[in-house]
Amino acid sequence: MNWGNWNEFFAMGGYAFFVWGSYLVTLVLMTAEIALLALRKRGALERLRAHGARAPGPR
């Protein structure tokens, strides 16, 4: 085990800004991408429901 306690873990041997700055930004970008894709899909579905092809139901 590398860390005696959580404070040591968060301090990252004095490199906290660099290490957590890297991990945090990466996490935010990846989560944001998935969230934006979910929103994009919802928007596409709403537009299709509002004015998609032909009438609903079986032909």
Partner 1 sequence: MNWFKYSSPQSFFPLAGRIALGFGALALLTCVAGLYIGFFRAPTDAQQGEAYRIIFIHVPAAWMSMFLYLVMAFWAGWGLAFNTRLSSMMASAIAPTGAMFTFVALWTGSLWGKPTWGTWWVWDARLTSELILLFLYFGFMALQAAIDDARRADKAGAVLALVGVVNVPIIYFSVKWWNTLHQGASISLTKSPTMAATMLTGMAVMAFGFWFYSIAAVLMRARCIMLERERASDWATRYARGST
Task: Quote the least distance from Cβ 43 to partner 1, whole Å.
Answer: 9
- The encoded tokens of residue 42 equal 């919802």
For residues 27 and 29, what is the distance between their CA atoms, to the nearest angstrom?
A: 6
User: Hey, CA dihedral for 41, 46, 52, 54, is it positive or negative?
Assistant: positive
Show the site string, 1-40: x = touches partner 1 by CB under 8 A, - = not: xxx-----x--xxxx-xxx-xxx-xx--xx--xx--xx-x
Binding site for partner 1 (CB under 8 A): 1-3, 9, 12-15, 17-19, 21-23, 25-26, 29-30, 33-34, 37-38, 40-41, 44-49, 52-54, 56
